[in-house]
Structure 1
């Protein structure tokens, strides 16, 4: 992506939480890596090298706006007309999101059916946000009509072409759909996601209950965005609030393409890297080699925020009394000239072998918590899959375990969603009964939000 000015780079910090003690011959080291970014132009006391960039346009508050481009993709397939309020509310929610686009930000609106059409500004380009262009964009929205099929891959490819025309660091998409991707093959959507990955981030939303969860969450996962459901398409307030929140979040991003770089010494290897807060996302297979014994894992765009990552490293077995650096975790930022990435922050993961059983068997609270949160997400998915397959005993066992984990970790939002699918007899033991009747919207909401986690209680 494009250059950015020094003033757009926040400060990054890295904290490592782990039990560094291993039993004799122990080989697996687990750590939670907390990455936090706050606004500023230096990191770790070291200035980020200034990189020439066009002067940013002023935002609506008169201050500089970080270079950003946003494309909103609105499902305009025929199903959006059932009921008619669905299309109308989608237009109104998109208009509210456009009102949130800051002056100087490049943006466009795409109508998605079995093809993709740029409805504003047109001619394969982006508009620069100001009062006049926002008004014209909202006028274009009023002309949107529901007709045609659904081919999400074509929407994403058009968004990619539009975003690629902008010389900005932050490129983001927002995608709204109400139906299944019936007018292209699964492999075509997969190819589109592979082509767009790393080029822009994207939030995806499903409206109503006729869309495919794995398609919407798959878009968000591949493009490092968020996925959620607006179950009631007639609830304009909920849809508008969600669209506005997504756009405000996009406007808050300050730096793109930050990677989590993990270096391991000779004989050690990364078992997995997972984002575990605010959502669970396995990054292991997205590793890009970064020199001898180092690999980069994409984290997307950052504003003022904090995220947690679970790193598991396998080290060579060693004798009691020995210690080693198991991994060095860094945040790095690529340079537009192809030079060495700029380091933003760093943390160390250690291994110390001991014959003290108390020390070696104690689990770090952060590691224990997020191991449970990852299991919670998996238990929900497995429980719902078993329920759909008619395996009621399996569904009861898995969803009961999910209730137990949600209760123990204080994940109240997930606990409330589970209570709409099962009758909780005893949360502490995970004793539940499957509800005889479950609203489809409740089941879809639970599945869509199953990967959302809570942080360790202080």
Structure 2
């Protein structure tokens, strides 16, 4: 298994793509900010120019023991239908355990209408080595289906286990095959609110009897990924990939800090790649005219963010700094000097009477505006389809086909083609299919926020 030294500390860069020109009196500034971390993890980095090294004093990665992970396995009664589903879940958990690198703290939780620590069973995660991995896999034999589903209790136990580990990176993996029927929605929301910012969590729905919005909502609140594993036999491969990605995280609690000048205001902040996620409401104050937006933990990866800032109107010839974007780590406990930014970028506004310059949309902004709309119209179209609004569903899903085709989002186009018959993709002319497999419908909903990156 790979080990990591301090020399593998991630390096960050920020690149800003925008059309800074506004017409006289124009107020809205849009920019795509690409944040790239490389040199730290194992998840497939992207070469970047002139990277900025994370300061050694605040390096959260490198040491192989600086992480903890809890696997939450649904053991409710529905996992017995068919009986192979529980066996697949045990095999998938064993595959994930095999992927945990030496020195990482880990635990396994069985989830029903209550949460039970299956391994190690003493209220604290075990330290991964050949002996503890073998012990954990032996303990998986205790996993048997029975009882209900109360996911909030699973998350709260995972939080207690992760909090007991003195590590920087805390991660959860959650598997469910059913709806959260044995606790009130408010209880799950309270658990998510309590766990937000304390650990990240990837969520998976196996089969087709779970609720898409519940699973995607968990992943969204805890800055993880969500997906469907329609065939339980594919769980092991999916769990292995998730754990490999988790093991590639090398720096935790990174925030996107947005400073704006007096008179300017942030209209929205959205992650737009690799998935669409609106971060606007998650802002926390970070000093005068500055706000932080949590982005979670990072390995070797690149993400794109769409910023929209409203600035005071100005005359032709005026220029101003519309926003300063920084990547920051949390301030040290007990006070002290805050760590310097990992990387920074600037968003500008220039007022001009050149109509061509001020009306031209930056290609990156245009692309991701379309990707965000694509995710939105898919959700609207599927909701309309479920409610029996055939005309509305056809219009929305037709627009989705048009956007997917124009942007080259082939994966989403293929998923749409399982729900509609495409008559003409460029114009968005489609017909709803009379019969759609439930797995195809849920896959489209679950993966609707996945975007294709713009070619730069």
Instruction: Please tell me whether residue 48 in structure 1 is matched to residue 66 in structure 2.
Output: no
Mapped partners of 2:30, 2:59: distance in 1: 40
Give the structure 1 partner of residue 431 of structure 2: 433
1:377-407 per-residue CA deviation (whole Å, 9 max, x = no partner) reads 0000000000001100000000000000000
Residues in 1 aligned to 2:163 and 2:8: alpha-carbon distance in whole angstroms = 20
2: CA distance, partners of 1:111 / 1:377: 33
Q: 1:317 aligns with which of 281, 288, 313?
A: 313
Give the corresponding residue for 1:416. 414
Local SS of the residue matching 2:427: coil
Distance 2:235 2:230 in 1: 9
| Conservation of the 8 A alpha-carbon contact between 1:160 and 1:200 | yes
Partner Cα distance (1:216, 1:348) in 2: 36
Question: Paired residue for 1:29?
Answer: 29
Q: What is the aligned counterpart of 1:375 among 373, 383, 406?
A: 373
CA pair 212-349 structure 1, distance change in 2 beyond 3 A: same
Kept after mapping to 1: 8 A contact 2:274/2:452: yes
1:367 deviation in Å? 0.3
1:5-20 → structure 2 map (5 Å cutoff) = 7=7, 9-20=9-20
Contact 1:334 1:342 in 2 (8 A): no
Partner of 2:98: 99
The 3 A distance-change label for structure 1 pair 89 and 51 is same
What is the TM-score normalised by the length of structure 2?
Answer: 0.94
Matched, 1:157 2:156: yes
Alpha-carbon offset, residue 341 of structure 1: 3.7
Structure 1 residues 47 and 411, CA gap change in structure 2 (3 angstroms): closer
CA shift, 1:9, in A, is 3.6
CA shift for structure 1 position 173 = 0.1
Q: 1:207 to 1:47 in 2, by over 3 A?
A: closer
Structure 2, unaligned stretches of length 5 or more? Answer: 42-49
Structure 1 partner of 2:47: none
Residue 452 of structure 1 corresponds to which residue in structure 2?
450
Report how far residue 123 of structure 1 moved: 1.6
Decide whether the 8 Å contact of 1:5 with 1:50 is kept in 2. no
SS in 2 for 1:132: helix
Deviation for aligned residue 1:270? 0.5
Matches within 5 A, 1:286-325: 286-325=282-321
2:192 is aligned with 1:193: yes
Distance 2:143 2:348 in 1: 57
Cα distance, 1:457 vs structure 2: 2.2
* SS class of match (1:104): coil
Q: Deviations over 1:297-340 (max 9, x none)?
A: 00000001000000000000000111100000000011333332
Q: 2:392 aligns with which of 379, 391, 394?
A: 394
- TM-score of the two chains, using structure 1 as the length reference: 0.94
Work out the CA distance in 2 between the residues paired with 1:101 and 1:437.
42
4+ residue runs over 3 A deviation = 4-9, 43-47
Alignment RMSD:
1.7
Q: Quote how far apart the aligned CAs of 1:142 are.
A: 1.7
Between the aligned partners of 1:359 and 1:457, the Cα distance in structure 2 is 22
Once residues 210 and 72 of structure 2 are traced to their aligned partners in structure 1, the CA distance between those partners, rounded to angstroms, is 16
- Mapped to 2, the partners of 1:51 and 1:300 lie a distance apart of 15
Question: What stretches of structure 1 of length at least 5 have no aligned partner?
Answer: 57-62
Return 350-359 or 334-343, whichever deviates more: 334-343
Residue 261 to residue 427, structure 1, CA distance change in 2 (3 Å): same
Deviations 1:160-190 (A, max 9, x none): 0000001111000000000000000000000
Structure 2 contact 6–63 (Cα < 8 Å) conserved? no
- Give the C-alpha shift of residue 240 in structure 1: 1.1
The aligned counterpart of 1:366 is: 364
Residue deviations 1:226-280 (CA, integer Å, cap 9, x gap):
00000122xx2x2111100000000000010000000000000100000000000
SS of the equivalent of 2:253 reads coil
C-alpha contact (below 8 Å) 2:52/2:342 kept by paired residues: no
